[in-house]
Amino acid sequence: MKIADLKIEPEVFLAPMAGVSDYPYRQLVREMGVELIYTEMVSSKGYEYGNKRTAELIEFDKGENGKIAVQIFGEEPEFMARAAEGISTEYNIDIIDINMGCPARKIVKNGAGSALMKDPGLAFEIIKATVNSAEVPVTVKMRSGWDEDNINAVEIAKISEAAGAAAVAVHGRTRSQFYKGQADWDIIKNVVDSVKIPVIANGDIFSAKDAEEIFNETGCDGIMIGRAAQGYPWIFKEIIEFLNTGRLIDAPSNKEKIEMALRHLELAVDYYGEKHGIPIMRKHISWYLKGMPNAGVIKNKVNQLAKKDKLISFLSEYKKEL
């Protein structure tokens, strides 16, 4: 597929996920054959005011192979425009993405994230200002709507296109659903049928066959994987292989999952340091352990360990038992 003049292949992307799609994890996903990866969401005001954490979210993108999209959020056009201009000028990125899909209360209470879908006029102003200021193509990630009485993804997609967005991504759930219930792929198809710019489908893609099905059902141009990638970077390799060849590759063994968790741990500690990296990795390790023998006991022990060497030793011993 093409986003503006950017040719992207394969059309399978890592979604922007706060606390998940950071630099260490992106390295693992890259190795699974993914070209376009989205960062965690970046506060436009945080960027404006030089917040250290905000800078950390973008800092190492310059060294990554493949294409990178930085997702920004905010509710004021001028801040979004300045962030888009600054980030796209300062960093070697490929896309600026506007967050209109985050359902978190701390984001929507200020009018950002999916709350923007309640104000199409403001959404247009933000997209237009961002497009006019960015040095790279601008995309928009949205939900199907705010709630079941306000399903307006088609309207917001049309507004995005009119404001100059180069593509839209649609999560087939409303804000009120958060991540519960079933994603409505019909809404995504309606968006595909309503705009000429590329549409990326998101929601309930948990397997290679799900990926094939959503392409067929919606006519989307690309797909974005979120929760299915938590603790399972192999999902990308499985999907890409199946879409290209029709072959279902074997899932990793439990030992291979622990080996990946250990590698992820090394990357995280190298990047964040032990004090910050170990707490971050606890949720990732919990995801890697899902479905394994005595997973609950192992998770509890992992949460008590604060040193990398002890964590490596403990997980390595557990791996021998698998």
Extract the annotated binding site for FMN. Answer: 16-18, 71, 141, 171, 226-227
* Marked catalytic residue, from 28, 83, 102, 197: 102
φ, ψ of residue 141 to 5 degrees: the values are: -110, 130
**Half-sphere exposure of residue 57: CA atoms within 13 angstroms, side-chain side:** 24
Residues 6+ positions from 184 with CB-CB distance below 8 Å:
144, 172, 173, 203
Residues comprising the binding site? 16-18, 71, 141, 171, 226-227
Q: Is 258 exposed, middle or buried (0-12, 13-18, 19+ CB in 10 A)?
A: buried
- For residue 181, which amino acid is it? G
User: CA dihedral defined by 47, 50, 52, 55, rounded to 10 degrees?
Assistant: 40
- For residue 102, which amino acid is it? C
In angstroms, the CA 228 to CA 148 distance is: 24
**102 among known catalytic residues:** yes
Q: Residue 287 has what DSSP assignment?
A: H
In angstroms, the CA 161 to CA 195 distance is: 7
- Tokens 């995504």 locate to 188
In angstroms, the CA 154 to CA 168 distance is: 10
Counting runs of H as helices and runs of E as strands, what totals does the chain give? 14, 11
Please list the active-site residues.
102
